[in-house]
């Protein structure tokens, strides 16, 4: 094998969470030295990377190097290193003690974040903890000048031109004296690290710089200022990045200092040491900081496969598949590194350039469970300790155990490091024994479903879990490719990591790929990639301008300045100009959208940024926005110091047959077989190995499945050609296969998710594309919900009513090529802005399933812009109402027909009501409506295509059978939950027994006094429930009437929250349930009733009543706090967070979206940049949560000053009746809406109002807190 010649040692090190991998090139040696050590082994060494380098130097030089001595540097050319020190500190919350400095009025800004909760079905609404201990509010304020203002504008003040080109006014200079006192108090508490984020510091960083200077002078050892780390508009992600950096950088610096101190003369001047950053580039110790370090290890793997496989082994784009013990990282490479500017890791948002690496919680350590008739893999992990059962530490069954049972992990080729003396092999028998116990439970369950069911062997069960794990890992790969407009099957799978090669063939086959590439260093590829990476310097400045000749000239000037900066930084590190490359970028977006694209400077002279932006936008989103301005957000330059250090070595062509080391028993779908085992080190270029076979690559096991073929390439890598295998799933009988049930759950949900991503990609409206106010779903031929991708809870389950109504209405008049549209409440709708598009799918003239998508259209007409009028009294005042219309007929989009409906919302008779006539305005954004409707049609078509792929593979009978089976599985889960709940609540004072049933009655009130009454009857034997809303008040003369579909959505949401199993949301959840709603009540209003508030207000009250009846938790804020404002030139809409109710063992979460909504909040800087407002305060409303053994969550306070006259509308609840506490817990505080006039008068607006405000008026919204639980 041919390697480069060199005179000194070269080390590439990846210090992972469990193992440290070292790749070393030894002077004068033809082969490399590879070493794997435990990352933490205090009994034997202090630091794994140092120990590995010491051992290799000692081994090849013959010189004794004491473990406690200094490492000699004379023989070391360089060290390249990636480390998980930062990642582990973040995951384990073991960073530095830090405080946050933020502009006064925003102390809770980072805690609230975008106000969305991570898991909509988590009844506790748990959010990641903050990294800071203390908050210091800084007396200072900077405001942006309005577009019609300029330097020296009226109003005076200290006006400056910011870094971005925007003009700012310093309304309040930084008060250093009060800040000094607060910082000194932090020092007294032992906090000496600071994160600083001040509003609009991205363009005016002077105040942050002053804070930094003051803090350092007072003895703070590290200060992270947001404007230096990530000078981009958006205070929340910029501030969170600063907290991550302040939290991690001291930890990183301490580790690096200790590492460097182990070398002679402190190492710094004697050896070239560079560290891998999250963006795939190397950096010296002095510039390696916390916020750029969290993907250090995974980034090395991406660089490794990208630079050794692409165009060396294949011309196909690559999907990187790095499967480890607890998680799997997925990435993509097609000639250039794909980067993102923002990502979230362990609940911490980081805004900085980094490789686009998606992580899924599935790996070798993922737990295996059998719950409610289905196999589940992860997301919980058994961890390194105690680990899987076979680790001899008393662990639980994991994927590694399953692979061991199947013969895919070979104990003789696995390190014998287990047992009390750490010298025993993997325990095969213990794994088998645990699988036998699990097999009994599984087979007993199957007998209850089918008395004649044949018992599953432990091998069949283990293979089933592996199949489910594979499908879990396929989902993020499909998302990564399809979301960006690429076809998954056109890629090759680049597989690495300790566990990945065991699963590669199966995953590639499932994804339709024909080629797998496994690197010869797959087990240490992250380390190897360090040696192939370049040194990178990346700088960026904000620049707010409309794209045009003048702004491009200014951008070019900034580009030139930044280019010289990065060149000089690289020169300072020893690179000459010939070894330096630079790449320039503009961050561009269409006006009115938040979808920015970092566009690389075109290399062709005839091309420009705009044409490239439009091309990229069209490829990713499927369209371009005509006659829309393009805005510049940022200028960025990436400097690359080219190293050209490691090159993929060539292997000699082989002449003889491949050497078989032995034969091993291996289990595949067709049963046991004797598979030949080969060692990669004994194979040569050109060897071809047919499956089934096993190739040992160091400690990594490569499984070549039947019908696949492995080829050893000239670089010593393994290329596997995948031949698709026919489906072995048999739909015969009415009983579901327990393995395939889990796989089809994943496949159906994956299809709904991909429909949603298609809709998000192709839509143009902010509501759908950015606020994610949409849902997509699949339905069985009778309209029953099969899978609903969870986006907005109030949509959950509700679309089934629409599909069934349309099916009943059209009957035999549906034909192939028809697409239906509806939004009317009586046709299964929620409120008119939510438009549902339904597509029936035919096979031989018969409907075989439906797909549907529902999206919130920002404008569909009505008496106020935004189609959310606070005072509507009838449905026609709220916009266009559609009961039944063929949006597409015989394949033709009926544009004229839908335009007529949208522009004329109702007939004259509807408006007149027999008394007077007036015209209701039609939609004010027709083109947006048409574009989003086309996007919904396309999303449906995507779902159809994916299901047809499923049918092609499995057959129609099987797919339709499992459509029914997944519903039956969800039904069983809900029945079990109802049985369990009935036992839990049976002895409570508000429960009475009525025969075999237990009966609970609960009610709550809307602010007008209307009552929502529920009689809940649970049959504890059958696991059935009746939700009877008899006693609920009649339809109201207002708009908080709620269509029946909204009540169904609230009930299904509550049931899904109460089921402690990750089941798909489908019609089966409602199968054991009857919902009885009195006709004519506010929960079943007439088809003339106004309903816009029912969807956003009454839905929350229904949820509170249902969860209170189950005694699940106290009431949440019970409101969405809908705020709209605008004039003839613009409109703005938001919903505002509040407090979550406490529960039996938890405090309620503060400042979060509750229950039936989960939409995002606009960042304060974007809010002030785009609208004529000043946000004076956005923080938690202290002590608004109800007291109790467990406190309710606090609501928020939001204060908005208007800078010009606008019309403001507020639609809210819980301003009269407070959110209730339970079990002795006190009520949460009621909400209030105040208008503070410019002359300081305070006016209570009540819960629902519409008012003209003037410049200088302030709107103050205090949202409700959640109820407490238990006696205080």
CA distance 491 to 335: 13
Cβ count within 10 A of residue 848: 18
Parallel/antiparallel/unpaired status of strands 328-333 and 318-323: antiparallel
| Contact between 1203 and 1255 (Cβ < 8 Å) | yes
| Contact between 1153 and 1103 (Cβ < 8 Å) | no
| Contact between 23 and 528 (Cβ < 8 Å) | yes
Taking phi first (over 0 means left), then psi (-120 to 50 degrees means alpha), and beta for anything else, what does residue 46 get?
alpha
Question: Would the pTM count as exceeding 0.75?
Answer: yes
Report the DSSP beta bridge partners of residue 320: 331, 494
CA distance 499 to 1034: 61
H or E element in which residue 332 lies = strand 328-333
The per-residue pLDDT for 424 is 83
CA distance 1068 to 1058: 15
pLDDT digits (tens, 9 = 90+) for 1058-1070: 887 777 778 888 8
3-state helix, strand, coil in the chain (%, to 5): 30, 25, 40
State how far Cα 838 lies from the chain centre. Answer: 27
Parallel/antiparallel/unpaired status of strands 339-345 and 348-355: antiparallel
What is the SS3 string spanning 275-286?
A: EECCCCCEEEHH
Helix (H, G, I), strand (E, B) or coil at 1192: coil
Give the CA angle between residues 200, 201, 202 to the nearest 5°: 90
Structural tokens at position 154 = 């009226």
State how far Cα 683 lies from the chain centre. Answer: 42
CA distance 440 to 350: 47
| Contact between 924 and 1131 (Cβ < 8 Å) | no
Longest Cα–Cα distance of the chain, Å, equals 104
Structural tokens at position 1102 = 């229904």
CA distance 467 to 450: 23
- The residue behind tokens 């499956």 is 691
CA distance 362 to 380: 8
The per-residue pLDDT for 730 is 58
Helix (H, G, I), strand (E, B) or coil at 1189: coil
Q: How far is CA 1036 from CA 871, 937, 1088, 1131, in A?
A: 12, 35, 11, 28
- Listed in order, strand segments (DSSP E) in 924-996 are 991-994
DSSP track, 17-37: SSEEEEEEE-TT-SSEEEEEE
CA distance 1163 to 1165: 6
pLDDT digits (tens, 9 = 90+) for 70-114: 888 888 988 999 888 888 788 778 899 999 999 999 999 999 999
| Contact between 670 and 706 (Cβ < 8 Å) | yes
Give the CA angle between residues 7, 13, 16 to the nearest 5°: 170
Structural tokens at position 1218 = 């407070």
What is the SS3 string spanning 134-202?
A: EEEEECCEEEECCCCCCCCCCCCCEEEECCCCCEEEEEECCCHHHHHHHHHHHHHCCCCEEEEECCCCC
**Helices and strands in the chain, H and E counts:** 26, 54
H or E element in which residue 942 lies = helix 926-954
Give the CA angle between residues 1143, 1047, 123 to the nearest 5°: 20
The per-residue pLDDT for 499 is 82
Taking phi first (over 0 means left), then psi (-120 to 50 degrees means alpha), and beta for anything else, what does residue 568 get?
alpha
Cα dihedral across residues 615, 620, 626, 631: positive or negative: negative
Report the DSSP beta bridge partners of residue 181: none
CA distance 721 to 505: 9
- Listed in order, strand segments (DSSP E) in 825-870 are 834-843, 846-856
Strand arrangement, sheet containing 819-822: 785-788, 774-779, 846-856, 834-843, 819-822, 885-889, 892-893
CA distance 461 to 442: 9
Helix (H, G, I), strand (E, B) or coil at 831: coil
CA distance 1123 to 1126: 10
H or E element in which residue 259 lies = helix 235-261
| Contact between 1149 and 117 (Cβ < 8 Å) | yes
CA distance 298 to 312: 21
H or E element in which residue 753 lies = helix 738-762
CA distance 61 to 26: 10
Q: How far is CA 1121 from CA 124, 870, 1223, in A?
A: 21, 12, 27
The backbone torsions φ and ψ at residue 259, rounded to the nearest 5 degrees and listed phi first, read: -65, -50
| Contact between 795 and 125 (Cβ < 8 Å) | no
Peptide bond before residue 692 is cis, with ω within 30 degrees of 0: yes
For residues 997-1006, one letter each, b for 16 or more C-beta atoms within 10 angstroms of the residue's C-beta and e for the rest, the string is bbbbebbbeb
CA distance 253 to 250: 5
**Which of 1076, 1066, 1055 shows the shortest CA–CA distance to 976?**
1055
Residue 1033: HSE in the Cβ half-sphere, 13 Å Cα cutoff: 19
Give the CA angle between residues 1193, 1197, 1198 to the nearest 5°: 135
Average pLDDT, the chain: 87
H or E element in which residue 443 lies = helix 428-449
Parallel/antiparallel/unpaired status of strands 834-843 and 222-225: unpaired
The backbone torsions φ and ψ at residue 59, rounded to the nearest 5 degrees and listed phi first, read: -65, -40
Structural tokens at position 414 = 């696995």
* Sequence-ordered list of residues with C-beta below 8 angstroms from that of 915, at least 6 positions apart, any chain: none
H or E element in which residue 1102 lies = helix 1099-1109
Report the DSSP beta bridge partners of residue 792: none
Which residue stretches of the chain have pLDDT < 70? 1-6, 149-157, 266-269, 384-385, 483, 485, 592, 594, 605-607, 620-623, 644-646, 724-734, 770, 790, 796-797, 906-918
């Amino acid at each position: 094998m041919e390697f480069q010649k060199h005179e000194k040692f070269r080390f590439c090190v990846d210090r992972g969470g469990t193992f440290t991998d070292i790749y070393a090139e030894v002077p004068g040696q033809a082969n490399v030295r590879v070493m794997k050590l435990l990352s933490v082994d205090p009994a034997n060494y202090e630091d794994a990377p140092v120990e590995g380098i010491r051992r290799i130097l000692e081994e090849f030089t013959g010189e004794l190097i004491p473990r406690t001595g200094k490492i000699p540097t004379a023989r070391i050319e360089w060290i390249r290193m990636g480390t998980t020190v930062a990642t582990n500190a973040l995951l384990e919350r073991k960073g530095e003690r830090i405080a946050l400095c933020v502009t006064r009025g925003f102390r809770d800004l980072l805690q609230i974040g975008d106000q969305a909760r991570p898991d909509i079905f988590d009844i506790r609404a748990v959010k990641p903890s903050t990294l800071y201990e203390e908050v210091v509010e800084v007396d200072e304020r900077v405001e942006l000048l309005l577009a019609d203002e300029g330097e020296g504008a009226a109003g005076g003040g200290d006006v400056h031109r910011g870094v971005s080109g925007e003009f700012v006014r310093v309304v309040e200079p930084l008060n250093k004296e009060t800040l000094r006192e607060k910082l000194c108090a932090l020092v007294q508490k032992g906090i000496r690290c600071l994160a600083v984020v001040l509003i609009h510091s991205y363009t005016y960083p002077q105040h942050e710089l002053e804070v930094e200077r003051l803090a350092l002078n007072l003895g703070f050892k590290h200060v992270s200022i947001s404007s230096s780390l990530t000078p981009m508009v958006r205070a929340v992600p910029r501030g969170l990045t600063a907290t991550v950096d302040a939290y991690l950088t001291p930890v990183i610096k301490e580790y690096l200092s200790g590492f460097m101190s182990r070398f002679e003369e402190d190492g710094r001047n004697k050896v070239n040491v560079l560290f891998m950053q999250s963006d795939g580039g190397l950096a010296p110790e002095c510039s390696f900081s916390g916020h750029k370090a969290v993907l250090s290890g995974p980034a090395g793997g991406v660089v490794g496969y990208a630079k050794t496989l692409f165009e060396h082994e294949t011309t196909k784009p690559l999907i990187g598949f790095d499967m480890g013990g607890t998680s799997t990282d997925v990435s993509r490479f097609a000639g250039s590194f794909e980067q993102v500017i923002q990502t979230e890791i362990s609940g911490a948002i980081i805004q900085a350039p980094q490789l686009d690496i998606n992580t899924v919680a599935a790996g070798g350590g993922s737990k295996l469970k059998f719950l409610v008739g289905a196999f589940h893999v992860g997301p919980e992990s058994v961890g390194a300790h105690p680990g899987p059962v076979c680790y001899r530490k008393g662990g639980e069954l994991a994927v590694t155990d399953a692979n061991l049972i199947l013969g895919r992990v070979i104990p003789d080729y696995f390190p014998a490091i287990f047992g009390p003396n750490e010298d025993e092999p993997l325990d095969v028998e213990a794994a088998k024994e645990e699988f036998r116990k699990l097999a009994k439970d599984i087979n007993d369950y199957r007998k209850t479903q089918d008395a004649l069911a044949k018992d599953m062997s432990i091998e069949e069960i283990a293979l089933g879990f592996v199949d489910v794990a594979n499908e879990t890992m396929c989902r993020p790969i499909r998302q990564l490719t399809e979301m960006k407009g690429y076809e998954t099957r056109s890629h090759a799978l680049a597989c690495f990591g300790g566990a990945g090669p065991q699963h590669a063939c199966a995953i590639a086959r499932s994804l339709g790929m024909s080629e797998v590439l496994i690197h010869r260093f797959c087990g240490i590829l992250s380390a190897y990639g360090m040696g192939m990476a370049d040194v990178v310097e990346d700088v960026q400045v904000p620049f707010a301008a409309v794209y045009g000749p003048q702004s491009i000239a200014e951008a070019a000037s900034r580009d030139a300045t930044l280019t010289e900066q990065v060149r000089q930084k690289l020169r300072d590190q020893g690179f000459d100009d010939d070894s330096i490359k630079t790449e320039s970028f503009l961050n561009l977006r269409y006006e009115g959208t938040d979808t920015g694209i970092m566009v690389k400077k075109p290399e062709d002279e005839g091309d420009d940024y705009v044409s490239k932006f439009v091309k990229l936008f069209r490829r990713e989103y499927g369209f371009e926005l005509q006659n829309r301005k393009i805005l510049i957000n940022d200028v960025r330059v990436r400097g690359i110091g080219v190293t050209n250090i490691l090159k993929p070595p060539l292997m000699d062509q082989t002449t003889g047959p491949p050497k078989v080391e032995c034969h091993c028993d291996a289990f595949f779908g067709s049963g046991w077989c004797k598979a030949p085992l080969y060692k990669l080190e004994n194979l040569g270029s050109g060897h071809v190995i047919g499956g089934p076979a096993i190739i040992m690559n160091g400690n990594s096991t490569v499984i070549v499945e039947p019908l696949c073929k492995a080829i050893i390439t000239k670089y010593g890598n393994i290329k596997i050609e995948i031949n698709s295998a026919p489906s072995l799933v048999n739909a015969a009988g009415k009983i579901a296969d327990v393995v395939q049930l889990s796989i089809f759950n994943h496949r159906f949900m994956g299809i709904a998710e991909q429909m949603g991503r298609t809709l998000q990609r192709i839509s143009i409206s902010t509501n759908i594309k950015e606020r994610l106010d949409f849902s997509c779903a699949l339905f069985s031929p009778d309209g029953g919900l099969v899978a609903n991708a969870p986006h907005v809870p109030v949509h959950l389950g509700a679309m089934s009513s629409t599909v069934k109504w349309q099916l009943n209405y059209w009957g035999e008049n549906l034909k192939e090529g028809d697409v239906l549209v509806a939004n009317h409440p009586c046709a299964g709708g929620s409120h008119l802005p939510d438009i549902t598009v339904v597509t029936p799918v035919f096979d031989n003239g018969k409907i075989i399933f439906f797909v549907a998508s529902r999206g919130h259209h920002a404008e569909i007409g009505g008496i106020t812009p935004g189609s959310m009028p606070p005072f509507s009294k009838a449905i026609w005042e709220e916009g266009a109402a559609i009961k039944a219309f063929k949006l597409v007929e015989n394949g033709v989009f009926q544009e004229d027909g839908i335009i007529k409906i949208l522009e004329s919302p109702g007939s004259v008779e509807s408006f007149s009501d027999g008394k007077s006539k007036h015209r209701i305005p039609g939609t004010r954004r027709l083109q947006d409506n048409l574009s989003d409707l086309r996007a919904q049609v396309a999303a449906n078509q995507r779902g159809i295509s994916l299901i047809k792929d499923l049918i092609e593979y499995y057959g129609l009978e099987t797919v339709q059978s499992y459509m029914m089976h997944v519903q039956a599985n969800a039904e069983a889960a809900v029945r079990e939950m109802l049985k369990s709940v009935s036992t839990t609540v049976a002895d409570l004072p508000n429960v009475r027994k009525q025969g075999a049933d237990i009966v609970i009655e609960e009610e709550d009130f809307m602010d007008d006094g209307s009552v929502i009454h529920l009689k809940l009857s649970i049959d504890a034997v059958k696991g059935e429930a009746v939700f009877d809303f008899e006693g609920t008040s009649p339809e109201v003369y207002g708009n908080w009437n709620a269509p029946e579909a909204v009540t169904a959505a609230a009930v299904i949401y509550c049931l899904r929250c109460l089921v402690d199993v990750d089941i798909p949301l489908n019609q089966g959840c409602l199968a054991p349930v009857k919902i009885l709603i009195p006709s004519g009540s506010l929960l079943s209003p007439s088809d003339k009733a106004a309903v816009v508030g029912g969807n956003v207000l009454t839905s929350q009250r229904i949820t509170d009543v249902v969860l209170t009846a189950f005694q699940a938790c106290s009431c949440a804020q019970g409101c969405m706090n809908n705020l709209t404002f605008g004039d003839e030139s613009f409109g703005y809409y938001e919903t505002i967070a509040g407090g979550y109710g406490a529960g039996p063992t938890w405090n309620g979460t503060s400042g979060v979206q509750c229950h039936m909504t989960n939409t995002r909040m606009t960042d304060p800087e974007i809010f002030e940049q785009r609208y004529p407002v000043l946000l004076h305060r956005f923080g938690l409303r202290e002590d608004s949560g109800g007291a109790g053994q467990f406190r309710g969550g606090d609501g928020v306070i939001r204060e908005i000053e208007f800078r010009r006259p606008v019309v403001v509308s507020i639609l809210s609840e819980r301003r009269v009746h407070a959110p209730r506490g339970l079990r002795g817990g006190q009520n949460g505080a009621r909400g209030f809406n105040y208008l503070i006039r410019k002359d300081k008068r305070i006016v209570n607006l009540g819960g629902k109002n519409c008012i003209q405000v003037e410049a200088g008026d302030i709107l103050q919204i205090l949202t409700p807190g959640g109820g407490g639980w238990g006696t205080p």
